[in-house]
Structure 1
Amino acid sequence: MSNVLPPPIWVNTKQVLQKMMDDLVTQSRVAVDTESNSLHAFREQVCLIQITSSHTDYLIDPLELRDLKLLAPIFSNPRIEKVFHAAEYDLICLRRDFGFSFANLFDTMHAARVLGYPAVGLDRLLGDKFNVQMDKRHQKANWAARPLSKEQIHYARLDTHYLFNLRDALEQELREKNRWEFAKDDFMRACLLDEVKQKTNGESWERFSGRKDLSLRELTVMAHLCKWREKEAEKLNRPLYKVIMDDTLITLSKNQAQQKVDLSAAGLSEKQIHLWGDAVLAAIRQGVSAPLVERRQVEAKNDAFLRRLEKLKLWRKSAGQEMGVESDVVLPKPYLSALAENPPKDADELAAMMKDTPSRVEKYGPQILKVLGGRNAN
């Protein structure tokens, strides 16, 4: 396989976008990837979209081209297969930023997981199968910065350039191992996940509410520190951790420093103390005197649910070991909880609950019913 590649086409005008679309609408499949700036901004956004057709690599600049609605019919067209590697995050970002919906997907990372590959990163798969070397140093680059370096552009285009070859090799293996239907079910389920997880503005402190080592007063201080940090991060357009790390906030909540000299012992740098020392101390004082927050109450599960859940976990772990895959490949997490919560009485109820993965019902239905004590378990 040749490592000498023609340059990709940079798509940053309506005219070039239209030329790309004239190509894509004729394709039976396209390879897709995205690059975002989650490590460099308060609210991440898609900063680059890579699309490969049968003969061309395109790099689309959504920072320049704000309107990408022309792409929507490509993603939603069931006659055009979209090949991703690790599709879940890309789908979340594309839905969030552009409102795209999806049909007909192939995820090479998930295909490798269904096959039981011990390492499923794109760099590892391309290196092992095609001797293609990828420089992963650019994974954490600031993709919102312009212009992109030649090295970034090369890295980005490699994320989709070889996906067709990888996809075809993995499909062949899936068919040979009789796991193609498993993978197809999962690809279809990925297209159905329309709920985009929204950030809970101003309530990030609730992530810490389950910590047993924080008293209610300490948790109240944490809440005020978190609210201050969010405002500061949004103002500076940087991730929360690039203001103050979570571990440092926990230490501040417990020690409740009263003077700037105490902030250094809690882990703040001289620069942080100079920039935000007064604001941090003010947030601590507010938390010390404010009404206590209430911990988020997690609904207690009854013993019968917990017993069923444990039985299912043990069964799928054993089935996964026998198949040579991670346990969630045998029974994905959403089904695990749903089956333990509302155990099906018979095969028909099980088929209805797992209608989006009929291949698993066919292969494991009797075993699942046996574990749960349902009828038609033989």
Structure 2
Amino acid sequence: MSYLTDPFAVPEQLVPAPAPRARAGALGATGADDSDGADAARPRAGRAATGGPASGGRHAATTQQRDATLDRGEAEETNRRDGDAAGDARDLRDPRDASDARDTSGASGASGASDVKDDAGETHDGGETNDARPAPVVLTSPAGGIPEVVEDEHRLLEAAEALAAGHGPLAIDAERASGYRYGQRAYLVQVRREGSGTWLLDPVGCPDLEPVQRATDGVEWILHAATQDLGCLRGVGLSPTSLFDTELGARLAGLPRVGLAAVLEHYLDVSLAKEHSAVDWSTRPLPRDWLNYAALDVECLAAVREAMIEDLAAQGKLEWARQEFEALTSFTGHATRPDPWRRVSGMRRLRSPRAAAVLRELWYTRDDLARDRDVSPGRIVPDSVLGVLATATPRTAAEVTAASTHRTIRRHPEVWAKAVTRALDLPESDLPPTTLPSTGPPAPRSWADKDPVAAARLAAAKDDLTAFAEEHRLPLENVLTPDTLRRVVWTPPEQHDEGTLHDALTALGARRWQADIAAPVLARAFATAQP
């Protein structure tokens, strides 16, 4: 099986061995910043990790791989575009053809992490000037035109049948109406598979996409930023058994920008506009230019996947990606925060439990209205107005209108007055605390006073992990999340050997590859760090 079609069936000779655990534990300090990893340590330009070619600039392939890929691509192109004169006339270097999407010029110079293209088209990397190269191809419409939206069960079954007859992974994306509608449901689902073309599925007309799930059962998904879409896709009956996330893969590969447009340009020399990303996708009928944008979102994902597989393999990071992608298949959504009303801006200015109770009641009143109207809560009343009312505590409709000029508040002042009154009438025992007790370690800035030894261990471990991240061109939080690092250092296991620390890391959710890197680093920090 070719590694171009199975991302984890990579020829052994193409995958340099990952850095050994002893190497990670012996890394020297580099002076980590004071943020303790909250902000990504962005990859720097430089050599590729573990001796592979740098992932910057353009993707290189061996002549043998290129010829085999082109042969397969020509056969697939013939099958896919048979009888399509326009398709026959397309340049073989069209970036949307997954078989010929990579630039095979052999360039493998410095990383593209700091590439900057000036107005003249010159690319500069760390002060060095490369030869001018053509501007990226601008994708303005899907290769096969804009598909008609699937809005009924008959067309849905037709789409499912076509997708089942296709081959290769399934590129998939979803559009929501964030900021317009209540919740995060999908209002359009885009799918594309070689041999099947692109299909635009309307979950409003077809709320259960189970036929597509059955037709593609066991097929690998390709998504960009999977955690944004997996929740809403599960809501319409779609869930993956395996997946490839091009956004997360780009982070692991060391790309400085990981948005879809930037990733397409990096690997395929194409440009993709994002002018409709924040529109109200619950609009019906959907404008044709929005559908054009939506179809383009899945047009090139298969090509990016193939190029990224080679890049990650060359850097010795493909197994890391495999573990990350496997973990994502069980992702169901971000954890719900306790007391979501506490996220209202201005909450910290409320000094008493009574004021907090008023804010809580106002928040739930707004949430009920938003759910009933299927409108984003912020479009009912913004957080700032809730804060004003919580401070003013108006009991009557007249007092409400005096406290706020917001149109929704003035339209139904009695609703908000009743909410305030309910909170003011609560017994003391039912009032919420102004702050919740912390369930994790204290803020790192206080460690030196509370536990100097733990502070020294944290600094040493973070310095070594930062050095590893920079050497391998990874964001620091992808090596190990700051929260996991702090928890292990602040409340360590009884034994501080590498194996015990490895178990502690995986128990907190670290992937095996992350624990392989971090455990020896932590063992060294526990053994040597002193305040």
Name the TM-score, length of structure 2 as normaliser: 0.61
Partner of 2:286: 148
Distance 1:38 1:320, change over 3 A: same
* Match among 401, 423, 426 for residue 290 of structure 1: 426
Say whether 1:28 aligns with 2:153. no
> Separation in 1 of the partners of 2:174 and 2:417?
40
Say whether 1:39 aligns with 2:179. yes
> Separation in 2 of the partners of 1:267 and 1:310?
48
* Match among 194, 218, 238 for residue 54 of structure 1: 194
The answer to whether the 8 A contact 2:395-2:418 is kept is: no
Aligned-pair CA distance for 1:211: 4.5
Partner of 1:369: 523
Aligned-pair CA distance for 1:100: 4.0
Partner of 2:506: 354
Secondary structure of the 1:153 match is: helix
Partner of 2:392: 255
Say whether 1:66 aligns with 2:221. no
Aligned-pair CA distance for 1:16: 2.8
Number of equivalenced pairs: 368
The answer to whether the 8 A contact 1:76-1:101 is kept is: no
* Between structures 1 and 2, the one with greater helix share: 1
Secondary structure of the 2:205 match is: coil
Distance 1:280 1:210, change over 3 A: closer
Partner of 1:14: 153
Aligned-pair CA distance for 1:43: 2.9
> Separation in 2 of the partners of 1:33 and 1:264?
44
Partner of 1:245: 382
Secondary structure of the 1:221 match is: helix
Distance 1:126 1:267, change over 3 A: farther
Per-residue CA deviation, residues 212-248 of structure 1 (Å, 9 max, x unaligned), is 4212121111012112111221222211111111122
Say whether 1:116 aligns with 2:254. yes
The answer to whether the 8 A contact 1:316-1:328 is kept is: no
* Match among 211, 215, 222 for residue 83 of structure 1: 222
> Separation in 1 of the partners of 2:160 and 2:237?
18
Aligned-pair CA distance for 1:136: 2.3
The answer to whether the 8 A contact 2:161-2:215 is kept is: no
Per-residue CA deviation, residues 47-79 of structure 1 (Å, 9 max, x unaligned), is 1111111141111111111222223346651xx
The answer to whether the 8 A contact 2:227-2:331 is kept is: no
The answer to whether the 8 A contact 2:242-2:326 is kept is: yes
CA RMSD of superposed structures (Å): 3.2
> Separation in 2 of the partners of 1:309 and 1:69?
48
Aligned-pair CA distance for 1:209: 11
**Given residue 325 of structure 2, which amino acid in structure 1 is its aligned partner?**
F
Say whether 1:161 aligns with 2:315. no
Secondary structure of the 1:137 match is: coil
**Given residue 258 of structure 2, which amino acid in structure 1 is its aligned partner?**
V
> Separation in 2 of the partners of 1:122 and 1:46?
19
The answer to whether the 8 A contact 2:401-2:410 is kept is: no
> Separation in 1 of the partners of 2:441 and 2:315?
38
Distance 1:114 1:131, change over 3 A: same
Identity of aligned residues (%): 23
* Match among 165, 170, 173 for residue 308 of structure 2: 170
Secondary structure of the 2:378 match is: helix
**Given residue 274 of structure 2, which amino acid in structure 1 is its aligned partner?**
K
Per-residue CA deviation, residues 82-137 of structure 1 (Å, 9 max, x unaligned), is 11000012112222x13544222111111111122221111222245445443423
**Given residue 253 of structure 1, which amino acid in structure 2 is its aligned partner?**
A
Say whether 1:126 aligns with 2:275. no
* Match among 439, 463, 472 for residue 323 of structure 1: 472
> Separation in 2 of the partners of 1:75 and 1:250?
48
The answer to whether the 8 A contact 1:30-1:81 is kept is: yes
Per-residue CA deviation, residues 229-280 of structure 1 (Å, 9 max, x unaligned), is 11221222211111111122112212334666765785543x2243132322
> Separation in 1 of the partners of 2:468 and 2:374?
46
Distance 1:249 1:316, change over 3 A: farther
**Given residue 281 of structure 2, which amino acid in structure 1 is its aligned partner?**
W
Q: Name whichever of 276-285 and 203-212 sits farther off.
A: 203-212
Give the unaligned 5+ runs of structure 1. none
Distance 1:334 1:27, change over 3 A: farther
Per-residue CA deviation, residues 6-43 of structure 1 (Å, 9 max, x unaligned), is 22253233333233323333422110101112322223
Partner of 2:243: 105
Q: Which has the higher contact order (CA 8 A, sep 6+)?
A: 2
**Given residue 30 of structure 1, which amino acid in structure 2 is its aligned partner?**
L
Q: Name whichever of 133-142 and 242-251 sits farther off.
A: 133-142
Q: Based on CA coordinates, which of the two structures has the bigger radius of gyration?
A: 2
Distance 1:333 1:188, change over 3 A: farther
